[in-house]
Structure 1
């Protein structure tokens, strides 16, 4: 049994970051990726965890769903951070299809008794208000339907700020990823506390 502090939980929960390039971390050093920075943040908060980077650049919700079985075969999942949908939005894919894929991903993780943190994604204005309304409603509605924790839009104030992005202007640099961690770490710590009580 490992006890880091009074906040630490007795075993090391396995946290899967299941996402696209925002999770994978192209263009940054290994120690600056979302998984590495999140692990360090949780450690400083007194939690011993195993944080797995299961991000694949270019993934849509459809391709994420297609590889989900492989991810689930890799071991137990205590908490799944589902960060998918950005590429669906950037390609203008049907929001209904995005919703259906995310539903299947959520139910698959729940079937493995994993808790879920669903990361909000929002559509750009360029697709029009009808598309944006349909897309933006996906995440809060699924969080309510499946009783999962909803994280805020992870790229808020990062997209559009060159100080927080690598050269392609799309993906966060180490500083941008630190802000991403700031957005999701509080919810993850809340879930870890709930797991400890259970």
Structure 2
């Protein structure tokens, strides 16, 4: 075989190997799931291995999902603060996002119409990025009165329906008002409380991951 022909054959084979290797590497890359929110995400008072993003990543990997959960929580964030920093957070280029905001609005008794406006703006921004989203709800403290609670509680499912996102009705379901699952302040979950949250929210997160996979297949 002439040298030029052998060289062409070798280069073609090399290109095939490189292409296959790149495809395998791409297929094996984990989904980048961003947990975006306040101290409930950031992990106030918890060791690094016990925070929500880390426990969620461990649980998902135990279920066979190749996922990296990014901790984009910032303690003290209101919905306004979350909206203000969403562009900065998206610079990490997540494949999907889980939004946990609203608790601090409720604790401060902020006007539910402001909370609605902020969260609507946030969800619109994620729609612009075509980013699969899991939106979690929050409940208002009951000491603020029934009228406030009714307006505050209702805005989360309404926004989820309006923006057609995966919805988990109450992030602290099964944990709130359970002393054994909370830290001494009675507000922030302890490690066991976070584990309870992860166990309950896991099916919704897996639904979100299915959306990511469906989107990737549609784009391929």
What TM-score comes out, normalization by structure 1 length?
A: 0.92
Partner of 2:15: none
Pair 1:49 & 2:67 matched: yes
Unaligned runs of at least 5 residues, structure 2:
1-23
Partner of 1:140: 157
Task: Tell me, yes or no, if the aligned pair for 2:41 and 2:72 is still in contact at 8 Å.
Answer: yes
Determine helix, strand or coil for the equivalent of 2:109: coil
Structure 1 runs (4+) greater than 6 angstroms displaced? none
Pair 1:19 & 2:37 matched: yes
Change over 3 Å in CA distance of 1:48–1:41 after alignment to 2:
same
Partner of 2:166: 149
1:49-198 matches, within 5 Å, as: 49-74=67-92, 76-197=93-214, 198=217
User: 2 CA distance for matches of 1:195 and 1:63?
Assistant: 27
Backbone CA RMSD of aligned residues? 1.6
Q: How many residues align?
A: 192
Task: Tell me, yes or no, if the aligned pair for 1:152 and 1:184 is still in contact at 8 Å.
Answer: no
Task: Tell me, yes or no, if the aligned pair for 1:16 and 1:52 is still in contact at 8 Å.
Answer: yes
Offset of residue 112 of structure 1: 1.4
Offset of residue 133 of structure 1: 1.1
Structure number with the bigger relative contact order (C-alpha 8 A, sep ≥ 6) is 1
User: 2 CA distance for matches of 1:119 and 1:64?
Assistant: 14
User: 1 CA distance for matches of 2:136 and 2:196?
Assistant: 14
Offset of residue 157 of structure 1: 3.0
User: 2 CA distance for matches of 1:188 and 1:153?
Assistant: 14
Determine helix, strand or coil for the equivalent of 1:67: helix
Change over 3 Å in CA distance of 1:44–1:2 after alignment to 2:
farther
User: 1 CA distance for matches of 2:109 and 2:157?
Assistant: 20
Offset of residue 65 of structure 1: 1.0
User: 2 CA distance for matches of 1:191 and 1:68?
Assistant: 19
Task: Tell me, yes or no, if the aligned pair for 2:138 and 2:171 is still in contact at 8 Å.
Answer: yes
Kindly indicate which of the two structures has a greater share of residues assigned to helix. Answer: 2
What TM-score comes out, normalization by structure 2 length?
A: 0.83
Determine helix, strand or coil for the equivalent of 1:16: strand
